[in-house]
A and B are shown apart, each in its own frame.
Chain A
C-alpha cells in the first residue's frame, strides 16, 4: 500500500459537501476504500444513508461512475454492470481495466438484499461488495436490523417494561455466511484501522471473483455518541473484542489485528454509546454478562479457526 503521504495527494472520489451527518462512519469507509483502488472504480450503492446523502439531484458527491437502483439490489445491479463489462470486453468494445465495488448498508445487505448478494456471490462475478455496517436502518430512523446487536435500543426494539434489554436477539454473522459461499476473500474491517481496511480492499480487488468485506460503520446519530468520537469508537469495537479484524482467504482464516496488551473490557464498549445505556442498570446485569461471555466465545472460536492463541 502507498504511504500516507502519497495517498494524501490522491484525489478523493467522494467529494466533501455531501450531506451525511458529521462523524458518519460511512463516508470515511468509502473514501478509504476508494483510495485503495489503483484502477478506476465503478460503484453501485443500495438505498440508505450513504446513497441519499451523496446524490441529491442535481448534485452528486461521486467523482467516479455511480449507480443506485433500489434498496435490495446493489449486488444484482452490479452483477449486470459487470456482465456488461465482460461482454463488451469480449467483443473488443472496451479495453480499460476497471474495479467494481458495491456499497450497501447492513439493512440492504444482511436483510432485504441478502438474496441478491448470495446469488451474486454464487455466480462468481468479479466484484467487491462492501457492507458499511452501522447495525440498524439509519436512513429511515434507526430501526433494528438483523445486524443490530442484542441489547441495542432502536426505534423498533425500544427499551420498555416488557423489553428491558432493547433488541432481544443476537446479530446475524454475515461474514460467516459469506465465507460459506466459498468466496475467495472475505474480511471484517473497521475505519479505526485504515491501514488494515485499505489493505483488505486492495487485496480483495486484486483477487478474481466475488469478494466481501463487512466494515463496522459507527453512526453518531443511531448509536448515540458525540460525532467527534467516531474513530475512537471504531477502534473500541476492535479492542473490546466486539468486532474482530480478520480475513478469510480461500478458506484460510487470519486475524489481522490482535489487541493483546491493548485489549479493553467489554463493558467499555457498552458504556461508550447511548444505545446501550439501559444495559448498565443493575437489573440488566445478567444480560451484560451473557453478552460479554458470548463476545469472548465468538472471538475465541475465531482465533481457533485461525490457529492462533487467544490472549
Chain B
C-alpha cells in the first residue's frame, strides 16, 4: 500500500517527476503548467533529484534542449500548455522523427486567440499528427500513474517515441485530490534507466543525428514511424499489466464505465469523464442504460477496441473539448465515426463540442446528451450531427 496524499494536478506531476528523477528537465513557465515546474525547481534546489534543469528562454528552446539531451543519452522531460506547445510546434515533430522518447506534460489550455488561460483540448489535439503518443488523464491519480507508465512506453525498444501526458488545466491542475503514491524506489525500479543505443556522447562511435533526408529515404523513415505507432497499443497493454502488479490499478488503452449493457454511450477524454460517470449513476437510477467510453490513449487511436465497445450501443455521442475548424466535427468525433464506418450495422454517432476556453459542463447538460441519444434511438432520426453544449445563443 502506497502513501495517501492530497495534491493538485500540477503538484502531482512535479512529485512523480521527482520520483522518476529525469537526467534533464528543460521548461518554460506558462499558466496553468507553472506550478509543476516551480515545485520541481524546489526539488532541484533542495538536492532531491540529480536532474540538470535547463531554465530555457522559450518553449521552442525547451523542446530543442530535450532533443539534444535525449540524443546525448539522457532521460529528458518537459511540461507546457497551449501557446507554449504551439511555440514548440516545429520541434515537437522533430522529436518524434528523431525517435527520442521524451516525456512531456501538457496541461491542457485553450489556444490563442483570443488569449485565454482555461482548459480545452485545442493545444494537444492540434499536435495529434506530430508523431507523439498521447495519453489523457482524468484526475490526479491518473496523472501520476500515466506519467510513470509513459516513460516505459516511450522508451520501449520497439516504440522509441515521445509521449505526451495531458490533464485539464485548472480543473485538475489546480484542484487538490486524494491520490496514492508509490515508494520512490518502486517507481525508480519500474522506470529503470534510459538506454539510448546511439548516444551522441559516445565519441568512440560518432553518430549523425538529424541529417538531410530527401525523396530517396524520407518516406521509408516516415513508414518506420507509422510502424512504431502500430506497436504502441500492445506495449501500453503490457506496461499497464505490469503497473497493475505494482499498484493494484488497472490501465489499458481506454476505460469503459458501465458499457457492458449500455444502450447509450458517451465518448469523452479528460476530467469531463468524471462528470459523465456521475450523470450515468443518476440516469441508471431512472432506468436509462447509460455508459461511458473514456479515451485514455488518443494516439495511437485504438480503433479495434473502440469498435468492440461501441458497436453494441443503440446510439453514441462523442464529446469534444476542441473544434477542428472546417471539418465535420471535433477531432475525437472524426476518429470515432471513421472507426465505426467498417461496422456492418450503421450506428448513429453524434458530436458535441463543449467547454471551449474553460466553460463548465454540468451533469444536467450531460444528461441532456443521453436523453437526445434516447430520442435518436426511438425515432431513428439524427436532427443535428454536430452541436455545441452550453453555448450562449
Give Cα distance in the complex from A69 to B74, angstroms.
16
B129 at the interface (CB under 8 A from A): no
A88:B217 contact, CB within 8 angstroms: no
Q: A56-B211, A85-B72 are in contact. Are A69 and B94 (CB under 8 A)?
A: yes
Residues of A within 8 A of B (CB): 40-42, 44, 51-52, 55-58, 60, 62-70, 72-73, 75-88, 90-91, 94, 96, 98, 115-116, 118-120, 122-123
Q: Contact partner of A81 among B51, B62, B72, CB < 8 A?
A: B72
Min CB distance B13 to A, Å, is: 20
Residues of chain A within 8 A of B94, CB atoms compared: 69-70
Residues of chain A within 8 A of B211, CB atoms compared: 55-57, 60, 68
Most buried by A among B67, B91, B208: B208
A65:B213 contact, CB within 8 angstroms: no
Q: Contact partner of A83 among B58, B69, B209, CB < 8 A?
A: B69
B69:A98 contact, CB within 8 angstroms: no
Q: Contact partner of B203 among A40, A80, A116, A120, CB < 8 A?
A: A40
Min CB distance A58 to B, Å, is: 7
B369 at the interface (CB under 8 A from A): no
B209:A66 contact, CB within 8 angstroms: yes
Give Cα distance in the complex from A205 to B149, angstroms.
41
Residues of chain B within 8 A of A67, CB atoms compared: 67-68, 71, 200, 208-210
Residues of chain B within 8 A of A55, CB atoms compared: 208, 210-212
A58:B217 contact, CB within 8 angstroms: yes
B55 at the interface (CB under 8 A from A): yes
Q: Contact partner of B212 among A57, A72, A115, A120, CB < 8 A?
A: A57
Min CB distance B182 to A, Å, is: 22
Give Cα distance in the complex from A79 to B62, angstroms.
10
Q: B9-44 CB contact bits vs A (8 Å, 1 = yes)?
A: 000000000000001101000000000000000000
Residues of chain B within 8 A of A83, CB atoms compared: 24, 26, 52, 54, 65, 68-69, 74
B201:A84 contact, CB within 8 angstroms: yes
Chain B residue nearest to A53 (CB atoms) is B212
Q: Contact partner of B68 among A72, A80, A88, CB < 8 A?
A: A80
Chain B residue nearest to A71 (CB atoms) is B90
A115:B58 contact, CB within 8 angstroms: yes
Give Cα distance in the complex from A87 to B21, angstroms.
11
Min CB distance B239 to A, Å, is: 24
B206:A64 contact, CB within 8 angstroms: yes
Give Cα distance in the complex from A282 to B350, angstroms.
74
Chain A residue nearest to B53 (CB atoms) is A83
B52:A86 contact, CB within 8 angstroms: yes
Residues of chain B within 8 A of A58, CB atoms compared: 217
